[in-house]
Amino acid sequence: MKRINWVTAVFLLSTPVGAVIWGGFHIHEYGVSLAEVVFFVVYLVITSMSITAGYHRLFSHRAYEAGSLVRGLYLLFGAATFQDSALAWSADHRSHHQNIDTEGDPYNVRRGFLWAHIGWLLVTDHIEKRRTTVPDLEADWMVVAQDRYYDPLALFMCFGVPFLVGLAFGDPWGFLLWGGLIRVVVGHHSTFLVNSLAHTLGHRPYEPAFSARDSIVTAVLTFGEGYHNFHHRFASDYRNGVRRYQWDPTKWLIRSLEKMGLVSNLRRVPRERIVLARMRSDEHRLLERARECSQDAVESVQAQLAEISTAVESAVSRLGELEREFVRVRENAAGVSRERLTQLRADLGAARKEFREAWRRWTRELARLPENLVPTPAVG
């Protein structure tokens, strides 16, 4: 029997209504000032990225390490989003990863888009299952303190800070509306989209068995959390958009903090594992289509892919070895001859070229193969 989580339910359902009514009234009476909009955007970015870079990639997944200054800022500004404490948030999120698409997943998308988006928050059953997955966070006094004093902290950071900043600008109510109420509603639904839209829209290049999907649309709406198929496959990686050009401001923030010396040990899954996952997923998709045609088609796909997939595997593993060797040599630069470095650079260049060519062949082959996969006409 599900019990309604009344405080959360009233808050989540009344804030959007309040934002529309008060927002409509305020804009009608006083218009919109540039300062209000700038504060809204800045506070939205700071607080939402405290969730994506802090609650999510640091506290839930330990994808990198951060000193007390950064952890403290994440915990303070994360509280302003009214998404519960980092401890509770991470406990739910770790259950989501461990039990994806099953009953144990608190925001299981198989129960429907709306359930994954907001429905699960309106009932209490997930709360009773918390706290078994976060012993490491319970050992962090800052995380524990944020959890203990969460309510007053969240109220102050969510509404108190915008009001006080607004006082300094002579517009406390406008700042409270934009930086407090409207911002918290937008921040909520941006995060909620990761649980609903990122499990519905897009494609699955790394793990076809998961509902999680990659989509630039979700990535833009969620500060880079939209490459969700990659994320569920490689959750310990600090990146979600693993390609250099993929829209992932959270990974850029983490990397900038690293350059400033504020965070360290960014975890990256080796390229070999990523490429292999990608190939297995492509192969799985093609074989599914071939199965709809005939057993001959399945065998023909397997035969055609075998040689080229071996070529990609060996090229990517050679490249990985050389890259690791290069890092080792560079760290030890004093004891290495110039010739050795030059040779290593040349080998690396050749290995990159070999890998690029093998991968190009793989994608060409994949694009060509489906032409042969014409379904067998139904008999009779």
Of the pair 15, 60, the CB lying nearest Zn ion is at 60
DSSP helix/strand/coil, 181: helix
56: region left, alpha or beta (phi > 0 left; psi from -120 to 50 alpha): alpha
Query: For residues 212 and 369, which CB has a smaller minimum distance to Zn ion in the complex?
Result: 212
Query: Among residues 97 and 285, whose Cβ is nearest to Zn ion?
Result: 97
Contact 259, 289 (CB under 8 A): no
φ, ψ (nearest 5 deg) of residue 106: -60, -35
How many CA atoms lie less than 13 Å away from 175 in the CB half-sphere? 21
User: Residue 34 has which token pair?
Assistant: 């540039």
Q: Fill in the per-residue mask, 211 to 250: x = in contact with Zn ion (CB under 5 A), - = not in contact.
A: -x--------------------------------------
Residues binding Zn ion: what is the number (CB under 5 A)? 1
> 190-214 burial by CB neighbour count: b if 16+ within 10 A, else e?
bbbbbbbbbbbbbebbbbeebbbbb
Give the shortest CB-60-to-Zn ion separation in angstroms.
6
Name which of 70 and 212 has its Cβ closer to Zn ion.
212
Question: What is the spatial distance between Cα 190 and Cα 209, in angstroms, rounded to a whole number?
Answer: 25
134/212 with CB nearer Zn ion: 212
DSSP state of 66: E
CB of 111 to Zn ion, least distance (A): 14
Of the listed pieces 151-159, 210-218, 244-252, 334-342, which binds Zn ion according to CB under 5 A? 210-218
**Site map for Zn ion, 124-163, x if CB under 5 A?**
----------------------------------------
Tokens of 280: 């297995």
- Give the nearest residue (CB) to Zn ion: 212
Find the binding residues for Zn ion in span 270-309 (CB under 5 A): none
Neighbouring-strand partners of residue 334: none
Q: Cα–Cα distance between 372 and 299 in angstroms, integer?
A: 12
For 59, residues 6+ apart whose C-beta sits below 8 A from its C-beta are 74, 86, 89, 90, 137, 143
Q: Is 40 or 59 the residue whose CB approaches Zn ion more closely? A: 59
**x/- contact string, 169-208, with Zn ion (CB under 5 A)?**
----------------------------------------
**Min separation Cβ 56 and Zn ion, Å:** 6
Q: Between residues 62 and 280, which has the closer beta carbon with respect to Zn ion?
A: 62
The residue ranges that bind Zn ion (CB under 5 A) are 212
